[in-house]
């Protein structure tokens, strides 16, 4: 089913009165789950504006979360999310009118700009409507797991500062991407906000060991590593029940050999975004994960985003 033409085009064009299915695909197989969420949201909005029915295909195009041997067999989007309109991918391909999306992105999508993140226009509110309408909906089983972890991490009455910082590694300097803040600069800025906002704890999400070391040194036991505590809670949650999983519990999950590596990384990234939303305050650099967090969040008391330009 893999179509190597990256431009938007008809795969099948039949009767004009029949539904037109719009297959959302991504030709860059290294796209992470946060960026994929933004891209899908852009394509969904675009398709609906045309009167087309959007369906996400992470089955027939190589991607980070699909084991190579599962290409053409499983849809990695459905490891994490429902289809926008609950339309089965196979049904869409069987339709009389089928359009393959641009293999990259559409012009309009949730971005990482300061205007967007700081709600200086109505864009964030408008994009949140896709989530409110259930067009971007996490799998119920995954939502249940995250809710259980949230109850274990957050205690009533505490004032939490969520911090999201990605890697500063040199091989991540991609032209056009936002520049992450230097670690010491970020730590010093956050220390001032921690005091100003009278916070009790920092919930830190990062994939950079230098960030972890700096924050643990500067904040000690006031800093909680979100990936570690969520992993512990997840393991505990899994061990709490000796009951075998029902078919209803497992039908939406990837097969056992897919539940490793990048799949788990994608799952962790989504968990971090949802858990960050529970914090009172949020500080982050401009990145797809910060955008997804702001889309999912109902409200933060205060936010701060580092803006050092782009590479």
Q: How confident is the model at residue 85 (pLDDT cuts 50, 70, 90)?
A: very high
Q: Note the pLDDT tens digit of each residue in 36-69.
A: 999 999 999 999 999 999 999 999 999 999 999 9
Q: For the residues of 161-215, what is the DSSP string, one character each?
A: EEEEE----GGG--TTSBPPPPHHHHHHHHHHHHHHTT-SEEEEEES-HHHHHHH
pLDDT value, residue 174: 73
Q: Note the pLDDT tens digit of each residue in 111-164.
A: 999 999 998 888 999 999 999 999 999 999 999 988 888 887 777 778 999 999
Q: How confident is the model at residue 253 (pLDDT cuts 50, 70, 90)?
A: low
pLDDT value, residue 179: 86
What would the 3-class secondary structure string for 29-58 be? CCCCHHHHHHHHHHHHHHHHHHCCEEEECC
Q: How confident is the model at residue 303 (pLDDT cuts 50, 70, 90)?
A: very high
Backbone torsions φ then ψ of 53, nearest 5 degrees: -100, 110
* pLDDT above 80: residue 259: no
pLDDT value, residue 129: 95
Q: How confident is the model at residue 236 (pLDDT cuts 50, 70, 90)?
A: very low
* pLDDT above 50: residue 216: yes
Domains of the chain: 9-100 (no CATH), 140-306 (3.40.50.11350)
């Amino acid at each position: 089913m893999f179509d190597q033409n990256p431009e938007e085009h008809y795969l099948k064009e039949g009767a004009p009165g029949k539904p037109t299915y719009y297959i959302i695909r991504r030709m860059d197989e290294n796209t992470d789950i946060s960026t994929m969420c933004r891209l899908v949201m852009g394509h969904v909005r675009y398709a609906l504006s045309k009167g087309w029915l959007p369906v996400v295909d992470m089955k027939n195009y190589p991607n980070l979360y699909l084991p190579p041997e599962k290409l053409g067999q499983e849809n990695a989007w459905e490891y994490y999310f429902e289809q926008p309109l609950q339309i089965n991918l196979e049904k869409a391909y069987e339709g009389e009118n089928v359009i393959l999306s641009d293999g990259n992105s559409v012009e309009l999508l949730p971005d990482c700009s300061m205007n967007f993140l700081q709600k200086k226009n109505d864009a964030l509110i408008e994009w949140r409507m896709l989530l409110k309408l259930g067009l971007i909906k996490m799998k119920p089983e995954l939502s249940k797991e995250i809710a259980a972890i949230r109850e274990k991490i957050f205690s009533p009455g505490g004032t939490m500062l969520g911090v999201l910082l990605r890697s500063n590694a040199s091989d991540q300097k991609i032209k056009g991407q936002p520049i992450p803040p230097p670690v010491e600069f970020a730590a010093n800025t956050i220390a001032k906000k921690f005091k100003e906002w009278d916070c009790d704890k920092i919930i830190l999400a990062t994939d950079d060991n230098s960030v972890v070391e700096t924050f643990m040194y500067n904040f000690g036991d006031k800093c909680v590593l979100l990936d570690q505590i969520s992993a512990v809670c997840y393991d505990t949650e899994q061990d709490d029940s000796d009951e075998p999983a029902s078919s209803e519990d497992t039908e939406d999950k990837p097969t056992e050999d897919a539940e490793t590596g990048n799949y788990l990384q994608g799952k962790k990234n989504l968990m971090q975004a949802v858990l960050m939303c529970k914090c009172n305050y949020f500080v982050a650099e401009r990145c797809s994960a910060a955008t997804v967090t702001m889309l999912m969040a109902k409200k933060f008391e205060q936010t701060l985003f580092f803006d050092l330009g782009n590479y």
